[in-house]
Amino acid sequence: MTETVVAVDGPAGSGKSSVSKAAAKRLDFAFLDTGAAYRALAWHVLESGANPEQATEVISSLGGFDYSIGTDPDGYAVHVSGTDVTESIREPRVSAAVSAVARVPEVRAHLTALFRSIIRDSDKAGIIVEGRDITTVVAPDATARILLTASEEARMSRRSAELATESASDVAIALQKRDRADSRVVDFMTAADGVVTVDSTNLNFDETVDAVLDVIRTSH
Ligand code: C5P
């Protein structure tokens, strides 16, 4: 039974994955990257030759979607039907397909139920769960609820530094497109009632982790 649940939402490039993972390590908590599950499904849809833009094809793919997602911040890996897809779910083709898959209500209901069972069954004292709708839908009763933001400029430049193989403008365009599509489904740019905003625009990585840890400590 997980005692402390920390919900972290934010847009692409806000650093929520790496910051949440580092905070989980510091607290010896489990870590759940829900975006990785949406990406794993998008990868599965593409691999099975289905059209990610067609909700009926996406819903059919859910039947054969057998995935596992690690919750250890150190040995984190994602598998679909036994294949390690940890790296391939970050490919641009998956990033381009994921919003269409994630807007299907049946997909959201299916994955939300899985996330809740992962949260419930974690064997650590706490878990940090990050995504777009964790503070509002997946775990609205979480012990600590955080919206991690950063200016668009900061998010674009962090993401292009991560993906050194793509040009900065390609990354910026793809990211803006994905944020626009995602925000039609879930509002992850404004903090819901009781959610604490951490703005990392002028913070370095360690300072952002410390700010998140402060919110967690004061939320008990
Ligand atoms: O966090 P990341 O950018 O890897 O998420 C990939 C995609 O998964 C998002 O662009 C969004 O479409 C979807 N997602 C979601 N709800 C979440 C987490 C991710 O719709 N809780």
**Residue burial 77-93, b: 16+ Cβ < 10 Å; e: rest:** ebebeeeebeebbeeee
Whether residue 162 is predicted with pLDDT greater than 80 in this model: the reply is: no
Tell the residue nearest (CA) to atom 1 of ligand 1: 35
Centroid of ligand 1 to alpha carbon of 12 (angstroms): 8
Measure 122 CA to ligand 1 centroid, in angstroms. Answer: 21
Q: How far is the CA of 114 from the centre of ligand 1 (A)?
A: 15
pLDDT category of residue 1 using cuts at 50, 70 and 90: low
Predicted local distance difference test score (pLDDT) of residue 31: 97
Query: β-strand 78-80 against 67-69: which pairing, if any?
Result: antiparallel
Per residue in 40-87, pLDDT (tens digit) is: 999 999 999 999 999 999 999 998 899 999 999 987 899 999 999 999
Residue 198 parent element (H or E): strand 196-199
What is the reported pLDDT for 167? 72
pLDDT per residue as tens digits for the range 89-121: 999 999 999 999 999 999 999 999 999 999 999
Q: How far, in Å, CA of 50 to CA of 60, rounded? A: 9
Q: Which tens digits make up the pLDDT trace of 18-39?
A: 999 999 999 999 999 999 999 9
Q: With bands split at pLDDT 50, 70 and 90, how would you rate the model's confidence at 172?
A: confident
Residue 138, number of CB atoms within 10 A of its CB: 24
Asked if 37 and 77 count as a contact pair (C-beta separation under 8 A), the reply is no
Burial of residue 203, with CB atoms counted within 10 A of its CB: 0-12 exposed, 13-18 middle, 19 or more buried:
middle
CA dist., res. 121 & res. 79, Å (int): 19
Q: Of residues 139 and 163, which shows the higher confidence score? A: 139
The CB of 132 under 6 Å from ligand 1? The reply is yes
Q: Which of 17, 86, 91, 98 to mutate to test the pocket of ligand 1 (most atoms within 8 A of CB)?
A: 98
Q: Measuring from atom 4 of ligand 1, which residue has the nearest CA? A: 35
**What is the model's pTM?**
0.94
105 CA to middle of ligand 1, Å?
14
**Rounded Cα–Cα distance for residues 43 and 32 (Å):** 18
Q: Whose CA is nearest to atom 7 of ligand 1?
A: 35
